[in-house]
Amino acid sequence: MSASSTRSQGRVRAAAAARLRVGLNTDSVILDKIKENPGISTYRIAKILHYSIGRVDGSISRLQERRKIDVQYVLCEGRLIKEIYPKGFITQQEAEVVRLDKELLESPDKWKKRAYIYALDRITLGITPFKSDEWEMKALAKEDVEVQELKDHLLIRIPPRLADFYIWKNSTSDLAIIGDLVLLTLKTSIPIHTPAKDERAELETLTTT
């Protein structure tokens, strides 16, 4: 092997090693951002870090292959949204139950016996320990349910007709608490198959032949 050929191979290996270092550094930065903002979108990551969408997508693919993150597609207000979470962050929606942390409520004592659940629109449930005239006027439906008290939490079971209406078993939710008013926004999870690395390679081969 000639000296020039050896130098050429050395430059190729050095360039590959440099690309790997840059890629790993990008992955680390993006993973930190995902941990800070569970459920963040690819577009949002790119905007915050001033990266191109392609650079973020490449990093997301590598992080998925290394099992560092989970990607979930949800249907929210008619739009399909790709949400990215740290590995293990996403848990299965507890069967028709809302769990409230007492420390987040303004007056936990008000929640001792009953709660009122209001179907405010097609994606939002409102829950209070007292009747709300404002919510009652706009609600599609209303339910009066028992509250189960634990040491640090309150459990509120969603009645079957509301659970079915909101496709509860195939949904994720965002919980907001203001005083003693609870707003639950539901997003329908959409299972989407993403080809594994070997499958992508096979597809690329097919498209280039």
Q: What confidence tens digit (pLDDT) does each residue in 157-175 have?
A: 888 888 888 888 777 778 8
- Give the residue ranges of the chain where pLDDT is below 70: 1-18, 20, 22-23, 74-80, 90-95, 190-209
Q: Is residue 201 part of a domain?
A: no
pLDDT score for 164: 84
pLDDT, residue 208, reads 41
Please report the DSSP string for 98-153 in residue order. EEEEGGGSS-GGGGSSEEEEEE-SSSEEEEESS--HHHHHH-SEEEEEEEEE-SSE
Do the beta carbons of residue 31 and residue 49 sit within 8 Å?
A: no
> Do 182 and 105 belong to one domain?
yes
Domain end (from 88, 117, 132): 88
Q: Which domain holds residue 78?
A: 3-88
CA angle 9, 55, 42 (to 5 degrees): 155
Is this structure's pTM higher than 0.85? no
Whole-number Å distance between alpha carbons of 13 and 191: 40
For residues 79 and 134, state if they share a domain: no
For residue 40, what are its two tokens? 């963040």
Q: Are residues 31 and 84 in the same domain?
A: yes
| Residues 107, 43 share a domain | no
The predicted-structure confidence for 35-44, as pLDDT tens digits, reads as follows 998 888 899 9
The reply to whether 110 and 66 lie within a common domain is no
Does 36 share its domain with 71? Answer: yes
Which distant-in-sequence residues (6+ apart) come within 8 Å of 9 by Cβ?
Answer: none
Q: How many domains does the chain have?
A: 2
Closest CA to 81 of 188, 169, 193, 175: 188
pLDDT at 105: 92
Using left for φ > 0, alpha for ψ between -120 and 50, and beta otherwise, residue 149 falls in: beta
- At 92 the pLDDT is 52
Helix or strand or coil: residue 92?
Answer: coil
Backbone φ and ψ of 117, nearest 5°: -110, 125
Q: Tell me what pLDDT residue 83 has.
A: 84
